[in-house]
Amino acid sequence: MKRVGITGQNGFVGSHLYNTLGLNTEEYQRVDFEKEYFEQPDDLDYFVKQCDVIVHLAAMNRHPDPEVIYNQNIGLVNKLVASLERTGSKAHVLFSSSSQEERDNLYGKSKLEGRILFTEWAKKSGGIFTGLIIPNVFGPFGQPYYNSFIATFCHQLSHGESPVIETDGEVKLIYVAELVKEFILQIKDGTTHEHYTVPFTTSIKVSEVLSKLKLYKNLYFEKGEIPELHSDFDLQLFNTFRCSFDIPSYFPVKLMQSKDSRGAFVEVVRLGIGGQCSFSTTVPGITRGNHFHTRKIERFAVIKGKALIQLRKIGTKEVIDFYLDGSEPAYVDMPIWYTHNIKNIGQEELLTIFWINEAYNAEDSDTYFETV
């Protein structure tokens, strides 16, 4: 088992890596990191001593003064290198550098010089170092106006704002889950790679991205329809978008009922991407679920009885409660990386319809159990 610590574990990439490592407790033990350690040498040394692997992600991306970015990023590298030297660590250090290394800006300069500092440490100490040159990263839970233009566009569209394209260039992108896989592959490899260029997985114009997001807003955010997703990138972008809005204020969404003398008809989901639709009956007091997905799109629609649906984002403590009643049919969608359940809180049988965009595959279920 490898003991892995992540500086910046609560950041955009760091939280995804931290949570993904937590899915495999047989291979990895996570060593928690607090940003205050950089100001407390004893605590930083204690952290370093525990780690077989250190992934250095902590960095500043944006600030009105580029000098502040440069000084902050180089300062963090120097503090970590000093701790590695004090403790005599021979850990495998992985460093997230950037494709901006080649550009004439202080952020890129801080990344290049940081990578050189780690390289020199590894050569002197006998440690292992991997410097990853990373393209533009996007995915769920990115900070708007900070992590990526996609995070900004998603936030603006889901909050009633109108995105503006400043430069419509071709951008090379990697989805955060794909980047996490790259980190894990390098951790498993366990050898020095001073300059490893992480391949981008999508090249697309900014305007094309915005066009797709506007379509998702129209179909999903405004109409509740799951759009047709033609590629892995479409699914990744859609999952990013649907994690960008205020979930407690959006769900549950009331379903339209058509009633006549025969009874009622309710359309649960309109879609263009296939998948699996099922239903369950649940006796009073029973809870189903308590699991989460990392890629699947899932909808719960209550059509009879009373239910409590609960969601909690992995790595957080806040539980979101939704109370649904079949007399007013409604649905709640399950965002990725949110563990969820459904409980019959009524006196009669609960009838729930479930739709998910992938038919169940026991060998790749993308289902991880964790109590809400």
pLDDT for the residue numbered 205: 98
As a whole number of angstroms, the distance between CA 283 and CA 305 comes to 10
CATH of 2-138+170-200, one of 3.30.450.20, 3.40.920.10, 3.40.50.720, 3.50.50.60: 3.40.50.720
Nearest to 195, CA basis, from 102, 105, 279: 102
Say if residues 356 and 275 touch (Cβ distance below 8 Å).
yes
Residue 141: strand pairing partners: none
CATH numeric code, 251-369? 2.60.120.10
As a whole number of angstroms, the distance between CA 179 and CA 182 comes to 5
DSSP annotation string for 147-198: T-HHHHHHHHHHTT-----S---EEEEEEHHHHHHHHHHHHHH-S-EEEEEP
Q: Which residues contact 210 (CB under 8 A, 6 or more apart)?
A: 153, 163, 165
Residue span(s) of the chain under CATH 2.60.120.10 come to 251-369
Say if residues 164 and 4 touch (Cβ distance below 8 Å).
no
| The residue type at 251 | F
Q: What angle do CA 106, 108, 109 make, to 5 degrees?
A: 60
pLDDT for the residue numbered 339: 98
As a whole number of angstroms, the distance between CA 24 and CA 65 comes to 41
Token pair 């989805």 is found at 175
Q: Is 101 exposed, middle or buried (0-12, 13-18, 19+ CB in 10 A)?
A: buried
pLDDT for the residue numbered 259: 77
**Mean pLDDT, consecutive 10-residue segments, the chain of 372 residues?**
96 97 95 97 97 96 90 96 97 93 87 96 95 96 94 96 94 98 96 95 98 96 90 97 94 84 73 80 93 96 96 97 96 97 95 89 94 97
Residue span(s) of the chain under CATH 3.40.50.720 come to 2-138+170-200
pLDDT for the residue numbered 276: 82
